[in-house]
């Protein structure tokens, strides 16, 4: 949950050759255009989603990228019970007592799926 946008970009780019996750560098390129270097070095993907949660009008590129690839967000309750939800479900979820903990991505078949983003 404390993974900065810069670290997320690095993680995505380091998975260039992982079968089914060919789309991650596309997300990395998109995220590299968010805000400025200072924000990407300090801001986290979870913080960005928390901001979107609190301000639905906030144009979160992280939210859009995660929703585009059907990512699953894991929340942890105060009792360390995990709950998995979609980015859209996060928008109306009462986060009181929860931590945005992790995100999981699903493999796509590159022969049948193309992921492109535009900024």
What are the beta bridge partners of residue 22?
A: none
- How large is the average pLDDT for residues 60-72? 97
Contact indicator for 34, 41 with CB cutoff of 8 Å? no
Neighbours of 92 (CB within 10 A): 9
Please give the mean pLDDT across all residues of the chain: 96
What are the beta bridge partners of residue 85?
A: 73
- Looking at residue 1, what is its pLDDT? 62
Give pLDDT tens digits for 10-47.
Answer: 999 998 889 999 999 999 999 999 999 999 999 999 99
Write out the DSSP string of the chain: ---BHHHHHHHHHTTTTSTT-TTHHHHHHHHTTSS-HHHHHH-BHHHHHHHHHH-TTS--HHHHHHHHTT-EEEEEETT--EEEE-HHHHHTS--TTEEEEEEE-----TTT-------
């Amino acid at each position: 949950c404390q993974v900065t946008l810069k670290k997320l970009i690095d993680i995505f780019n380091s998975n260039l050759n992982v079968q089914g996750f060919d789309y991650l560098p596309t997300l990395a390129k998109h995220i590299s255009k968010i805000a400025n270097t200072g924000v990407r070095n300090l801001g986290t993907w979870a913080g960005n989603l928390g901001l979107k949660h609190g301000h639905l009008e906030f144009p979160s590129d992280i939210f859009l990228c995660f929703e585009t690839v059907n990512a699953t967000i894991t929340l942890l309750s105060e009792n360390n019970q995990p709950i998995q939800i979609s980015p859209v479900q996060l928008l109306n979820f009462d986060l009181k007592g929860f931590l945005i903990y992790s995100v999981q991505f699903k493999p796509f078949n590159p022969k049948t799926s193309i992921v492109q983003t535009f900024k």
